[in-house]
Chains A and B, each alone.
Chain A
């Protein structure tokens, strides 16, 4: 175990001398990771489920001859049937079409917000953690202050200032969302940066950014991936929370969260209106998290068997 579990650091320090070796190594690292991922059944099933959900979010709404906004007031709250596979809602709109449209919106919100969080959070957090000292202190305070500004005020303001719609929601979610990510990254980097391999890299004259991107971040990848797998659902849920307060996506466009929220009032009477979107949101989260776990295990060099 000790031999195969050879920690990355030693290799990396040795590699700093010549670039080609590094590229080779990192390619093989990824290939290695992908290979290990492919042998993890839970992760692979999750991946397949996610792909299916994404595909359905793209084609699902066109599988029935309805759209997500047209009402049919003579057929409100109908249980699932051959005509309406998922039933209809309280305006007689087809739930199948709306559920997949909702999934589309939720996925867009989740992925976009998580991506923005990731980019800003990693850069900011890495700089904080790596520089340390006064820079860290000041940057950390700034993120703390941003984090403490009442979120709702920002959202309401953005909705007033910007056109209400999807981009505004995503922007509003990202404005404060990246802070958590930056803290996680900071914590990791702070832990890692005094490890021997980094000290070695530093002593060999590796530049700051090189240390950061070649050595520190790859080693912090595990927790970062875990955080990303959490920040997708958290963005989806934040949007749902905004819907709960009436500040979510604009009807008739709906997200899974806003559909669940609409359905909750009468869920015991019309359970299909809640269970389909709720089930889908849970499935998405489940798949996402399990895939994230798999990725984490596969990517973490220290866990190699």
Chain B
């Protein structure tokens, strides 16, 4: 019996192993060819990773940073954000500004064309902006408010005005566009480089309302054309030979993998599969940052960007309706220890709300107005907490929960801060991670006590950080309501006096942080990335947005 079963077994094994070998050889033959490609990047082909697929390629629908990166390659607005942080001529060759700062006349360059050869006209801009603002656009543009600077822009968007000709955009002739603003805004010119202000090809859009759903039906005017779009897997752009400044574009192709894992992205960079890794398109895992710094000293970059990481207190609910309690919490953590040991990316401890990198009157706002609104002091924090509790009639604090959205980095920070609160303030704070949409829902509907938050500049002016805290503001999740603050912001918006404007805003910031501690600033962000040593010309602007179009390999 034994012998027989042995024989049977042999037969079976043989049969299976033949099959196995057949399959195996298939993959074996594949192995031989690997390892060859991927190396040798002497050619001008850039490989990057994007942690998410851009949800749209229609400027009117864009609203996230991945789309921003993609659209910067594919489109060009009236201006283009230069490496120095100032808007440089884009499709507009030059422009005139009226005395009162309300009227801009843009002169479009003659050689600006779409990638199908048609000229980019003033009409294309007016049409694109009408499309953004029109209440009939489906789906509605979430970033339409970026065009509320235009005269009657908001009224048209909300349907109070039906006639677009009343909006402050006028096509003077094919190459001249006249824009009238609602209020003077010194930073508005920079916004014309932002995606919501990009032109679209009127003819193409009118012919096919799903024009942005496929690579081959898009007509774009930027330095690159989207040529490959494999859902969830890969995007690739090829140099646009019809671009007016094509002589200054050196890359032939840009390929983006769509991998949502920092660890994989970092490994790919190490293995030579990527030329660029990290923010803002991807991520370097926090644990790897110190090693990356050591291993690639010439490739590691940590650039300060105009973003603030902070915790929001729910100012409307007990116990954080009390300013002293809020101050006690804000003063009892050690920000330097957090950036040195937890976030590890050279972030700057924040004691104000407006980050460095934002323009002030002549210099940076943060240089002109120091963020010395409060100091870390555990002893004083304890006193404040005791006072605050007395005011509210507490003998012990009610249970406190800190919410954050699920992410390795947020979790580490939350745990570190909760531990500091425990040891410095003697308060037990529960940390709770929530799934992204659940978290947003809770935070935006005020269903929280303390919540993680971050804010990035929309434009290069302190106002982008200040006007969100006016009473009833859409992003005022903390529920801050202070008429004096509202007045300062309103004054700053109305005045033409640059000095008074900055002064009003710094007073408002002092009120927001020093007096009321509405939110607890933690640190100012840095953008951490790895760039191959021979890759040059990448522009990361003040807000951390990245422009690969002028990049090149040496």
Give the interface of A toward B (CB within 8 A): 69-71, 73-74, 76-77, 90-92, 156, 159-160, 164, 245-247, 250-252, 262, 264-266, 269-270
Contact = CB atoms under 8 A, between A and B. Distances in A.
Interface stretch (B71-79, B285-293, B484-492, B512-520): B285-293
Contacts of B13: none
Contact of A71 (B416, B431, B435, B438): B416
B83 interface: no
Contact of A252 (B337, B340, B431): B431
Given A76-B341, A159-B435, A265-B408, 4 more contacts: A73-B342, A251-B411, A251-B414, A270-B287
Contacts of A73: 337-338, 340-342, 416
A101 to B, nearest CB: 14
10 contacts: A69-B415, A71-B416, A71-B420, A73-B338, A90-B412, A91-B342, A92-B341, A164-B434, A251-B411, A265-B286
A16 B422 CA distance: 66
A250 to B, nearest CB: 6
Interface residue SS majority, chain B: helix
B82 interface: no
B288 A74 contact: no
Contact of A156 (B263, B408, B432, B438): B438
B361 interface: no
Interface residues of B, number: 31
Contact of B407 (A159, A246, A250, A264): A246
Interface string B398-413: 0000000011100110
Contacts of B418: 252
Contacts of A266: 285, 287-288, 291
Contacts of B414: 251
A33 B407 CA distance: 49
B182 interface: no
A246 B435 contact: yes
B364 interface: no
B490 to A, nearest CB: 39
A164 B438 CA distance: 12
A91 B415 contact: yes
Contacts of A92: 341
Given A246-B435, A250-B431, A264-B263, A269 B412 contact: no
A159 B442 CA distance: 14
Given A73-B416, A90-B412, A250 B432 contact: yes
B262 interface: yes
B122 to A, nearest CB: 48
Contact of B288 (A70, A71, A156, A265): A265
Contacts of B422: 70
A245 B408 CA distance: 10
Contacts of B263: 264-265
Contacts of A69: 415, 419
A262 B433 contact: no
A64 to B, nearest CB: 18
A156 B412 contact: no
Nearest to B291: A269
B549 to A, nearest CB: 32
Contacts of A262: 408
Contacts of A269: 287-288, 291
A153 to B, nearest CB: 11
A151 to B, nearest CB: 14
